Copies of this chain bind each other. A is one copy, B any other.
Amino acid sequence: MGGSPIGSAVVHSTFSVERTYPTTPARVFDAFADPARKRRWFAEGEGWSIDEFVLDFRVGGSERSRFRFQDGPPAGNDTVFLDIVPDRRIVFAYTMMVRDARISVSLATVEIVARGDGTHLTYTEQGVFFDGTDDGTNRETGCGEMLAKLDEELAHHP
């Protein structure tokens, strides 16, 4: 069993990231639901090696990814989907691991709404951090970068 060293405190954190995309809610939703699209913007990227990426997008289904950044340690993300409303909302819990240790567990809510000619996305993460190296600040930065990659995905594969 992984987990943090005995005696360490945990930190709870909540943040939201908002973005507007010049496309339809259905296309934004599809970028989360389609395994090939999700892998492209969520897992792939310069300097990243992907050892595994499997997406089973349904309530109760899971997403599993294993990856390394440059010469860094093996890391992983285990996600379980808990609520899906097509074209509108996705709620999932995910665990981040470095080597075999769980470093955080988060509940994420993706809300998708039409706004004008585009689509407004609000990503809210409520997380608990175990390892003392992040209080949610780094995670918020990382999620912002991730959603910027979704910008590119939607621009290049509309």
Interface locus among A41-49, A66-74, A76-84, A148-156: A76-84
Within the complex, what minimum Cβ distance (angstroms) separates A143 from chain B? Answer: 15
A9, chain B: closest CB distance, angstroms: 8
A interface residue numbers (CB < 8 A to B): 1-4, 6, 10, 12, 14, 59, 80, 82-86, 88-89, 91, 93, 95, 102, 105-107, 109, 111, 124, 126-128, 130
Interface of A is mostly: strand
Q: Is the CB of B83 within 8 A of A95?
A: yes
* CB proximity of A41 to chain B, nearest CB, Å: 23
B83 and A124 within 8 A (CB): no
The residues of B that contact A80 with a CB separation of less than 8 Å are 80, 93
Residues of B within 8 A of A109 (CB): 10, 12, 128
